[in-house]
Chain A
């Protein structure tokens, strides 16, 4: 994985020192909250309902065992013994004290981590496919280009005060696991007829109160032009994006108001002025970064593991886990392992300090010391020998991270909701916990099959509810928490936005409603049709009839 050079380290260390002074001045009253607030937000420090919350960046979700041990240390030393993985592949701490944050950041900096640009109207952490570099359906490792974007966008003076926050995702695979079409810029790698690799650039996707699917502004961009083209898009946005209305300030609104053709014309016009200039990516720089993502030293076996196959036959629980939590690796004798952070009844995305330490040890033992965080709030070991899968499963099970539910109904994206978040209108986590308990039977979950359920506690949609096959949105109606259901959302290459099915449900009735929807799906599906495909085939009517008795 990428290692800091002297510039990266110097920048991060200097920022810690700068913030130490800013915190000291705030605590003595030398600066006001109005003066301090933008400074703490630039360092990822929010003030939530009960405490400060620090969001720590994990570039494209890839981190080392050493960094995970530091995350555990931070959780123990400065927080309440746990952390929370987010949909931007970052980690959040819910209880740091303001005076401790400079020391906390200094500890993180010692392992090449920081909280810069995890808040504010700037380019946030660039996310990617959690199977980057190992997916069987991948053209090239997208993290190389994520890293280029990270270096270009970090403290870029022109991009520090954008109209609104800005999110970019890159995938190098044909199967979109990074929800690229719901990003301000989504980048998808393609190979053209001549065999050259380039990028499809999609702009204007997003969730929140106005969900949009990104539109393609360039079908094929040669790789060396990536940064100049992105800068052209950002310049158009910076000049024309709405700064008068926070709710209309995202690039998706600009694109919708301008129209994709005119927006593309503006970008191309801007690009013509900077193309082939200083932002042209030198091939040697790509090679230098590429070297950091070189495949590890795989053992030279060309065959699937007989041991793995034999264990599945003799251990049904292991077979069940393998069925959902293991993905195909490009190397025939290795596998990609998903660690579920969605134990039955647990808090989605939460992990304790002791679990983090064990995960770090297991990563060292079984997966070349590397871990990935997914935008669906789970973890991944990307390079596990198939021969080791059974032993690894036993060890993950000991620490509660082997729930066989990847991609199933209990593998929910859930925002922190009103239990933590100052913006939320309703709680999300208790709803997720109750749904998880309702579907606790793994046999039932596996019978239901692939089903993405996503929960947000307000219209900002941090829980991606618009992109859930079943989406749940918490709303506040006269002091009561109510939950609105959307159906038909999907975050893949065939992305779609969920549609509201009818009146909202009370907190007492929402789990029953979800249960009714799932049971209806199981009754009417054709063969092994996924929920999303059944919905697209039959529409909302059978679900409405079940929920509301309407025709």
Chain B
């Protein structure tokens, strides 16, 4: 199973292709292709679907209890964010307090 991913132009945030020229933050809303070939056929359409994404590519995923999970550590971290959240909490609190 494959999905398409990219980074959003405006802030670099990770996004996934939902189909119909729509990109979403949520991996579970990504359109899942049955094969690499199918995903790659759609890659051009998705890439041209707007100016607001950068670096479109195909990643392998698996479906577990109805949810999509990337297979590689890199893509897991892209989907979940950095694995060191305590640092952000401290910084975000500080920002909110300012």
Decide if A and B are genuine partners: yes
Interface of A is mostly: mixed
Pair A27/B82 contact, Cβ less than 8 Å: no
Q: Which residues from chain A sit less than 8 Å from chain B, CB to CB?
A: 26-29, 33, 47-52, 75-76, 80-82, 95, 97-99, 346-347, 350, 352-354, 418-420, 424-427, 429-430, 433, 476, 479-481
Pair B12/A419 contact, Cβ less than 8 Å: no
Q: List 8 A-B contacts (CB under 8 A).
A: A50-B14, A80-B92, A81-B94, A81-B95, A352-B94, A418-B77, A425-B74, A429-B82
Q: A33-B54, A99-B10, A418-B74 are in contact. Are A50 and B91 (CB under 8 A)?
A: no
Choose among A47, A99, A426 the residue that contacts B55 (Cβ–Cβ < 8 A): A47
Q: A76-B95, A82-B91, A350-B87 are in contact. Are A481 and B73 (CB under 8 A)?
A: yes
Chain A residues with CB under 8 A of B22: none
A99 to B: closest C-beta gap in Å: 6
CB under 8 Å from chain A, chain B span 48-71: 51, 54-55, 71
Pair B51/A47 contact, Cβ less than 8 Å: no
Choose among B71, B90, B91 the residue that contacts A479 (Cβ–Cβ < 8 A): B71
Chain A residues with CB under 8 A of B18: none
A99 to B14, CA, bound (A): 17
B47 to A: closest C-beta gap in Å: 10
Q: A47-B7, A51-B13, A418-B77 are in contact. Are A29 and B94 (CB under 8 A)?
A: no
Interface residues on B, range: 20 to 34
Pair B9/A26 contact, Cβ less than 8 Å: yes
- Let me know if B20 is at the binding interface, CB within 8 A: no
Choose among A27, A419, A426, A433 the residue that contacts B10 (Cβ–Cβ < 8 A): A27
Chain A residues with CB under 8 A of B14: 49-50
Chain B residues with CB under 8 A of A418: 73-74, 77
Smallest CB-CB separation from A30: which chain B residue? B51
Q: A33-B54, A481-B73 are in contact. Are A420 and B82 (CB under 8 A)?
A: yes
Chain A residues with CB under 8 A of B74: 49, 418, 424-425, 476
Pair B10/A51 contact, Cβ less than 8 Å: no
A430 to B82, CA, bound (A): 10
Chain B residues with CB under 8 A of A29: 51
Pair B91/A51 contact, Cβ less than 8 Å: no
Pair B94/A51 contact, Cβ less than 8 Å: no
B68 to A: closest C-beta gap in Å: 16
CB under 8 Å from chain A, chain B span 83-98: 83-84, 87-88, 90-92, 94-95, 98
Pair A52/B87 contact, Cβ less than 8 Å: no
